[in-house]
């Protein structure tokens, strides 16, 4: 990407940011989108490097199981917080998948086994929880959010989690890419690869499960999967892919939000279509380049 293209992208980003702040009536919405898009934009290349798209998109099934179990755990233990239990149980399951992958299991196979187990278990646990405990709400309401219903408290949580995840993602980025390319060589040349693996699955789990409560799983799915794919189609070099992925994620988020406000549709659909359009354009661009 040459200097001129970079200037155009930066210029477009600045115009888009100004338009968003002028046009969208609530600052919380813009901040929620920018923060979550930054997190997902930085996690997306990690998922792409490890080729864990299937795991990233299937975490919502794990979350459902975690949610159902969390109702029982919050009632039976001193820690009376369903959301905390849901995140802890969900993370523990993601660690199980991570451990299996670390031990040499095929990622898709490990994900398939765990998702099958959690999806089946969630049916049993849902039955047990809904027939034994006084639950007056839909179980999804424990963990499912909507970007338009974020509060300032959510923004603070998002900012704190975002900062930690962004720093961690940047810190493990290079090694994660090496693991994705040639795992055996990395195991021989880098000490404590299991720490990088642990941090990677922690970032993935927290980004998928904890943030679902704030911005919902549709935005999460879109921004976890597409920005890195778009960036890989457009530029070469891992640092550029990371930078463009974060850029694409934020631009998709803001453009989608503006679009959703303009057309009066749910932001998830606006963001989804924008990210998809960008991905299609990147494919077209790649073909033109060839």
Instruction: Tell me which residues touch another protein (CB under 8 A).
Output: 15, 19, 22-23, 25-26, 123, 126-127, 130-141, 144-146, 148-149, 151-153, 216, 218, 260-262, 264-268
The encoded tokens of residue 109 equal: 């196979």
Q: How far is the CB of 129 from another protein (least distance, A)?
A: 9
Q: 165, 145, 213, 164: which is closest to 43 by C-alpha?
A: 165
The encoded tokens of residue 210 equal: 């904890």
Q: How far is the CB of 268 from another protein (least distance, A)?
A: 6
Q: How far is the CB of 143 from another protein (least distance, A)?
A: 8
Task: Compare residues 16 and 199 and give the one whose CB is closer to another protein.
Answer: 16
Q: How far is the CB of 168 from another protein (least distance, A)?
A: 28
List Cα–Cα distances, 203 to 55, 90, 98, 234, 277, in angstroms: 13, 12, 12, 25, 27
Q: How far is the CB of 218 from another protein (least distance, A)?
A: 7
Q: How far is the CB of 214 from another protein (least distance, A)?
A: 10
Task: Compare residues 125 and 176 and give the one whose CB is closer to another protein.
Answer: 125
Tell me how far apart the alpha carbons of residues 91 and 100 are, in angstroms, rounded to a whole number.
Answer: 14
242 in Cβ contact with 263 (< 8 Å): no
The encoded tokens of residue 281 equal: 């354009």
Tell me how far apart the alpha carbons of residues 50 and 69 are, in angstroms, rounded to a whole number.
Answer: 29
211 in Cβ contact with 158 (< 8 Å): yes
Task: Compare residues 110 and 144 and give the one whose CB is closer to another protein.
Answer: 144
Q: Which residues contact 202 (CB under 8 A, 6 or more apart)?
A: 91, 95, 168
Task: Compare residues 75 and 174 and give the one whose CB is closer to another protein.
Answer: 75
Task: Compare residues 130 and 280 and give the one whose CB is closer to another protein.
Answer: 130
Q: 72, 46, 275, 36: which is closest to 158 by C-alpha?
A: 36
Task: Compare residues 50 and 213 and give the one whose CB is closer to another protein.
Answer: 213
């Amino acid at each position: 990407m040459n200097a001129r293209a970079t200037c155009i992208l930066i210029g477009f980003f600045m115009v888009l940011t100004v338009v968003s702040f002028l046009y969208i009536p609530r600052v919380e919405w813009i901040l929620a989108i920018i923060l979550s898009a930054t997190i997902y934009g930085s996690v997306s290349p990690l998922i792409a490097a490890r080729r864990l798209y299937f795991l990233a998109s299937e975490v919502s099934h794990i979350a459902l199981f975690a949610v159902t179990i969390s109702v029982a755990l919050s009632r039976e233990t001193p820690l009376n917080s369903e959301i905390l239990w849901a995140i802890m149980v969900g993370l523990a399951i993601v660690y199980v998948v991570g451990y299996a992958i670390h031990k040499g299991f095929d990622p898709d196979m490990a994900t398939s086994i765990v998702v099958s187990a959690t999806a089946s278990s969630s049916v049993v646990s849902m039955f047990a929880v809904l027939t034994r405990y006084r639950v007056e709400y839909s179980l999804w309401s424990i963990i499912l959010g909507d970007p338009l219903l974020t509060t300032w408290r959510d923004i603070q949580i998002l900012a704190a989690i975002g900062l930690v995840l962004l720093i961690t993602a940047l810190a493990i980025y290079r090694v994660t890419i090496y693991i994705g390319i040639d795992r055996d060589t990395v195991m021989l040349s880098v000490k404590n690869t299991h720490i990088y693996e642990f941090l990677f699955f922690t970032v993935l789990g927290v980004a998928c499960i904890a943030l679902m409560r704030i911005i919902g799983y549709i935005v999460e799915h879109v921004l976890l999967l597409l920005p890195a794919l778009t960036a890989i189609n457009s530029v070469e070099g891992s640092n550029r892919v990371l930078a463009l992925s974060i850029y694409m994620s934020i631009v998709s988020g803001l453009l989608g939000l503006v679009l959703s406000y303009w057309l009066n549709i749910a932001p998830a659909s606006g963001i989804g279509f924008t990210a998809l359009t960008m991905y299609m354009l990147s494919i077209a661009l790649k073909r033109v380049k060839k």
